[in-house]
Structure 1
Amino acid sequence: MDIFEKYRGLIARHDRMLEAAGDPFNVCMERLISPTEAIIDGKRTILFGTNNYLGLTFDPHCIEQSAAAVREQGTGTTGSRIANGTYKSHRDLETEIAGYLGKRTALVFSTGYQANLGTLVGLAGPDDIILIDADSHASIYDGCKLTGATVIRFRHNNPADLDKRLARIENKEQVKLVVVEGIYSMFGDMAPIAEFVDVKKRHGAFLMVDEAHSFGVSGDHGRGVAEAEGVEADVDFVVGTFSKSLGAIGGYAASDHPDFDTLRFVSRPYMFTASPSPATAASVRAALECMRDRPELRTRLWENARRIHQGLEALGFETCSPASPIIALRMSDEVAALTAWRRLLDHGIYVNLAVPPGTPNGVCLLRCSVSAAHSNAQIDEILRRFGEVASEILTVADAG
């Protein structure tokens, strides 16, 4: 048997996509023009699916700090944090993140994906129980597998279901870790963190919140949904990424637990991966300055999100959640979603195509993301171009 035989069904499905609309999962940005525009297929295209929430990828301060770090420290560390890969810039970044979040300790990871893997592997083991929201990101599911812990799923954003499942655990002394996200990456809906805090307290559990899509977005200071709901002190562990609002790559985990630094020598994804480049550490520190000193970026982001959300609903699209920087449009099936994605790209609008098994409940989506850098003129153009293809998109969806 061929080693790829197990993927024959997926390969055939992908081939059908290629024939019908090109490859939606391998779109090449031939040239970046700005945080919100690129050349795709030789055409100037508005980016409406990049998670560049604060638009900082082209910020002059971030670019200059990154370039200076390359000149002074080279292009990479060539080692892990436990070998030669700990630079002063990593420690300075961890201190700044911990201070920004108001936590005692922070750890920096090379990717946001590894931040979830590394934190979960460091916190839980085979004798523990992890309870995760059913709509959790793939990195959370994969991290749970690596722990060897017993994993229990509870219904999405349902504190009552979590409460019920915690109550069924017979060994009340067993370590229980609850994992939720601030803003969920597919639908863009927010978790009721304060309610989850109440539940975890009643059962003596620990709570970890992944604020990947809410860091820089929610709360008066951009610290996430826990800040917005006033329960930061009751969140035991917070995880996030540098690849969304901060416009770089990498991730972090932070906590007030006095032994949290133990993860530095028990978390294999932290221990055995090369540390972030000097350029990344420098640009992230600069982006944190922007987040702190320019709250108008968050204000602009939410103004854009509400306007576009309202405009798309007025055009007849079905949105999956209230307004947020992630706007998911429900499509009837994969054919309708693929057709819509292609038509939008042909009209100069790039969005994400999201289909099973990567989506909750097997739904097919056009996944859009808003940036503070989207101008009023670009928003007008986004809505105009969606309007131009709306009748075709919705006709295909209704036919399904």
Structure 2
Amino acid sequence: MDRFKAQRELHAAVKTCGADPFGVKMDKIVSSTEAMIEGRRTILCGSNNYLGFTFDADCIEAAKKALETSGTGTTGSRIANGSYNDHKALEADLADFYGKKHCMVFTTGYQANLGAISTLAGPDDFLIIDADSHASIYDACKLGSATVIRFKHNDPTDLDKRLARLADQPGNKIVVVEGIYSMLGDHAPLKEFVAVTKKHNAYILVDEAHSMGVLGKTGQGLVEHDDVLEEVDFITGTFSKSMGAVGGFLVSNMDDFDVLRVACRPYMFTASLPPATIASVRTSLAKLRANPGLMEKLWQNVDTLYHGAQNAGFTVGKQKGPVVAIHLTDPALAARAWRALLLNGVYVNLALPPATPSGTALLRCSVSAAHSTEQLERVVSILANVGRDLGLLKSPAHAVAAE
């Protein structure tokens, strides 16, 4: 079809690096941090397995027991036959974890944003979203009927101006931001955003997909890190990052919260999560709550990769986090670098314009608490060798963090 012409041409150009960066096949998963790819043992530095729970023995055992007692799936939605005891128990666990009254669990993190945002904002309301929002947030805006307004990325002053212009407009105003942004790894200035939204009597929803289990004393995310949990109206998140599985959630103190269960189409018309997944997530959440020190190992590993890449001469994001984005100016060179890394046993994500913020080509690396220091030092060494071979590194001097 002609409508896919631009995508076909872009995809074909990317594949000239010698492989398809968006179609890599994991022949065998060896552990939380390694896989066999193209016959080579490869360090996985492009997953979001932040706490390494995908191969945690307790999570696997819980999933096995649920599989044996409750079967492979629910074969129905949450409003039909798809609510089991453990689905409700996980919702209670998450509500308690965040100190909120209510929780809904969705089948994916994407659906959590799609369902929550499109349902909360009606035709007479306004959604005010960060310009660099995740695709799930943009798609939620398309699915819903509210008026959508974008503000400059991570800019409280611009948000203030946008909300001020709506002062005389009837309807709810719902601000949507993310804790950690998935491409560049930067944090929202959440304390400032909360202050602005409260000034204008607006609501605020925070997507903690990449910050749950990463930030805050107990792993609640940026809402805890910035001490604004009580002031945030809605929190969404996913189980496919720190929880090591799949699924999503919405927590809130909203009055009449349960009406969302019969108003939210992505919740109503999707089969619910398999019991084995629910069981593994309940276990990983319990382990995080019992041992928040897991995050200390993650941040030690973040330091190793972030400062290692920076000291090698690469330009990295200005904020440290489990997403370490290496900035490159040339998409073709970025694709060649991605391929060279894979051939040398390191898997990262390639992110290219127009999908990237500000049209920057990125080698998007992600760090896990399960990585060993030796693995990450090897990643840094291979990155540096590839950078020199491709002429990406002009000197070993420290690079300035990207703005």
Q: Which residue of the partner structure matches residue 354 of structure 2?
A: 357
Deviation at 1:363, TM superposition (A): 1.1
Q: Which residue of the partner structure matches residue 234 of structure 1?
A: 231
Q: Contact 1:121–1:268 (CA<8 Å) still a contact in 2? A: no
Q: Contact 1:242–1:250 (CA<8 Å) still a contact in 2? A: yes
Q: Contact 2:128–2:176 (CA<8 Å) still a contact in 1? A: yes
Give the Cα–Cα distance (whole angstroms) in 1 for the partners of residues 74 and 318 of structure 2.
Answer: 42
Give the Cα–Cα distance (whole angstroms) in 2 for the partners of residues 393 and 291 of structure 1.
Answer: 41
Q: Which residue of the partner structure matches residue 292 of structure 1?
A: 289
Give the counterpart letter for 1:213 in structure 2.
Answer: H
Q: What is the alpha-carbon root mean square deviation over aligned residues? A: 1.3
Deviation at 1:20, TM superposition (A): 2.6
Q: Which secondary structure state, in structure 1, belongs to the residue aligned with residue 193 of structure 2? A: helix
Q: Which residue of the partner structure matches residue 197 of structure 1?
A: 194
Give the counterpart letter for 1:231 in structure 2.
Answer: V
Deviation at 1:69, TM superposition (A): 0.3
Matched, 1:117 2:99: no
The one of 21, 28, 31 equivalent to 2:28 is 31
Alignment of 1:79-98 (within 5 A): 79-98=76-95
Q: Which residue of the partner structure matches residue 57 of structure 1?
A: 54
Q: Which residue of the partner structure matches residue 367 of structure 2?
A: 370
Structure 1 runs (4+) deviating above 3 angstroms are 393-398
Q: Which secondary structure state, in structure 1, belongs to the residue aligned with residue 315 of structure 2? A: coil
The one of 321, 339, 354 equivalent to 2:318 is 321
Alignment of 1:236-255 (within 5 A): 236-255=233-252
Alignment of 1:158-237 (within 5 A): 158-237=155-234
Give the Cα–Cα distance (whole angstroms) in 2 for the partners of residues 142 and 115 of structure 1.
Answer: 12
Q: Contact 2:314–2:393 (CA<8 Å) still a contact in 1? A: no
Give the Cα–Cα distance (whole angstroms) in 1 for the partners of residues 390 and 272 of structure 2.
Answer: 45
Q: Contact 1:243–1:249 (CA<8 Å) still a contact in 2? A: yes
Deviation at 1:397, TM superposition (A): 9.6
Q: Which secondary structure state, in structure 2, belongs to the residue aligned with residue 343 of structure 1? A: helix
The one of 262, 265, 269 equivalent to 2:266 is 269
Give the counterpart letter for 2:188 in structure 1.
Answer: A
Matched, 1:137 2:134: yes
TM superposition score normalised by structure 2: 0.96
TM superposition score normalised by structure 1: 0.97
Give the counterpart letter for 2:279 in structure 1.
Answer: A
Q: Which secondary structure state, in structure 2, belongs to the residue aligned with residue 14 of structure 1? A: helix
Measured at CA, do residues 139 and 21 of structure 1 come closer, stay the same or move farther in structure 2, by a change above 3 Å? Answer: same
Alignment of 1:36-47 (within 5 A): 36-47=33-44
Give the counterpart letter for 2:276 in structure 1.
Answer: A
Deviation at 1:31, TM superposition (A): 0.3
Give the Cα–Cα distance (whole angstroms) in 2 for the partners of residues 340 and 152 of structure 1.
Answer: 37
- Residues 155-210 of structure 1: CA deviation (Å, up to 9, x unaligned): 00001100001001153442100000000000000001111110001100000000
Give the Cα–Cα distance (whole angstroms) in 1 for the partners of residues 390 and 122 of structure 2.
Answer: 47
Give the counterpart letter for 1:174 in structure 2.
Answer: G
Matched, 1:71 2:68: yes
Give the Cα–Cα distance (whole angstroms) in 2 for the partners of residues 137 and 251 of structure 1.
Answer: 15
Q: Contact 2:62–2:279 (CA<8 Å) still a contact in 1? A: yes
Q: Which secondary structure state, in structure 2, belongs to the residue aligned with residue 82 of structure 1? A: coil
Give the Cα–Cα distance (whole angstroms) in 1 for the partners of residues 324 and 279 of structure 2.
Answer: 31
Q: Which secondary structure state, in structure 2, belongs to the residue aligned with residue 248 of structure 1? A: coil
Give the Cα–Cα distance (whole angstroms) in 2 for the partners of residues 357 and 159 of structure 1.
Answer: 25
Give the Cα–Cα distance (whole angstroms) in 1 for the partners of residues 102 and 354 of structure 2.
Answer: 36
Give the counterpart letter for 1:355 in structure 2.
Answer: L
Q: Which secondary structure state, in structure 1, belongs to the residue aligned with residue 30 of structure 2? A: strand
Aligned-pair identity (%) = 52
